Structure 1
Amino acid sequence: MKNTIWLASIAATALALGGCERVEDGEAAPATENTADQTLTASISQADGLSTVAGVITEANLASVFDGSSAYTVLAPTDDAFAELGDAAEQLTPDGDNAPMIALLRNHIVTGHLRPDDLRTALADDEDGEVEMASVGSDPVTFMMDGDAIVARGPDGAQVRLLVDRAVEANNGVLIPVDGILRRLPTATTASR
């Protein structure tokens, strides 16, 4: 049975409230970089390979959303992911209009402070190994494991791999770069993920 958003949020919040994790001898430290002194906006703008997402946030005056007190987890497509779209990427910013790109990015954002370790724990605890969460857009996001990797799937089957080694924990959320976008574009020239 799939966990509902409230189960995943409760588990993630409980884990996040644990504050500092104790690392036992021989255990690996959490992979998420902690930049608790900065907001998601700063984390996104300083991250390598996320200039497309950072540019949209700046151009669309969305910085105040990611500078606020609400917690979000942003699954940010890398610049390479947008480049792989080829000509199909043009439909995301027709005539310089960022509205389609903003709509797309809303489906890459879930509410709450979800570190990759929180997702792994929630997935391990679910009998089906899947956790579905609502995005701030119109589409749900389903998380699952693919070997050791965490992947996310959109409702049309588009799937991305979370680049957890590049995850950043800010004071109001978590930035997790992903290697694709969670929606198949009608004229996409790349192979589906």
Structure 2
Amino acid sequence: MKRHMRWALAPLAVLTLAACGGDDGKSDGATEPSSQTLAATLKGDEAFGTLEQVLTNAGLTEVLEGTGPYTVFAPSDAAFTSTGSDSDFTTEAMRAPAAALLRAHIVPGALTRADIGAAIDSDGTGTVQMRTMADTLLSFTRDGDTIVVTAPDGASAHLTGSEELAKNGVIQPIDALLIKPDPAA
């Protein structure tokens, strides 16, 4: 079992090291990191109003204001409304599920799309996995030019829009939640 865990974490270690590479002064098309934290960047972006409210409700704002680095796979407001669930992760009653939802969308390390794409391309299977803060594995594959992320329960999302580099990590916008909410919640 321990051997399996080491192999499951190997892609994350490679990606984390790639994300920490030195700056050689060359631009690869990515934007320069902001001076804002992940929490401040999410708060300032209209597309993530619901996510920012969920973050506040879950009491995890301080985590995304901290040192990091983290990569947040950030569901848009539309992703929350299209779940087919009545769950409102912004209410006090949903504080614990909100924290679980967020942990399932955050991985350690600052990972750009170029990092994730390079890991997928260099892997012989075309799939790379990363461990979340919820201790689950997200699988990353390609669908044409689009990167698809899939959770263990089968929930999947596409990386969409433009990534945002913060001083303590990266925000990767996604078009769906990476957990299947309970429809009866």
Per the normalisation by structure 2, the TM-score is 0.85
Aligned-partner SS, 1:121:
helix
Aligned-partner SS, 2:97:
helix
Where in structure 1 do 4 or more consecutive aligned residues deviate above 6 Å?
Answer: none
Q: Take 2:9 and 2:141, find their aligned partners in 1: how far apart are those partners?
A: 14
What stretches of structure 1 of length at least 5 have no aligned partner?
A: 24-28, 189-193
CA RMSD of aligned residues (A): 2.2
What stretches of structure 2 of length at least 5 have no aligned partner?
A: 1-6
Match of 1:26 in 2: none
Q: 1:122 to 1:21 in 2, by over 3 A?
A: farther
Cα deviation, residue 13, structure 1:
2.3
Q: Take 2:8 and 2:75, find their aligned partners in 1: how far apart are those partners?
A: 25
Q: Take 2:14 and 2:34, find their aligned partners in 1: how far apart are those partners?
A: 21
Cα deviation, residue 21, structure 1:
5.8
Q: Take 1:130 and 1:116, find their aligned partners in 2: how far apart are those partners?
A: 14
Q: 1:37 to 1:96 in 2, by over 3 A?
A: same
Aligned-partner SS, 2:153:
coil
Count of residues paired in the alignment: 178
Match of 1:154 in 2: 151
Mapped contact 1:13–1:113 kept (Cα < 8 A): no
Match of 2:99 in 1: 102
Q: 1:100 to 1:123 in 2, by over 3 A?
A: same
Do structure 1's residue 118 and structure 2's residue 115 form an aligned pair?
A: yes
Q: Take 1:93 and 1:63, find their aligned partners in 2: how far apart are those partners?
A: 13
Task: State the one-letter code of the partner of 2:42.
Answer: I
Aligned partner (choices 122, 126, 131) of residue 128 of structure 2: 131
Per the normalisation by structure 1, the TM-score is 0.82
CA-to-aligned-CA distance 1:29-79 (integer Å, 9 cap, x gap): 52x443331111111111231011111222333222111112110001110
Task: State the one-letter code of the partner of 1:97.
Answer: M
Work out the percentage of aligned pairs sharing the same amino acid: 33
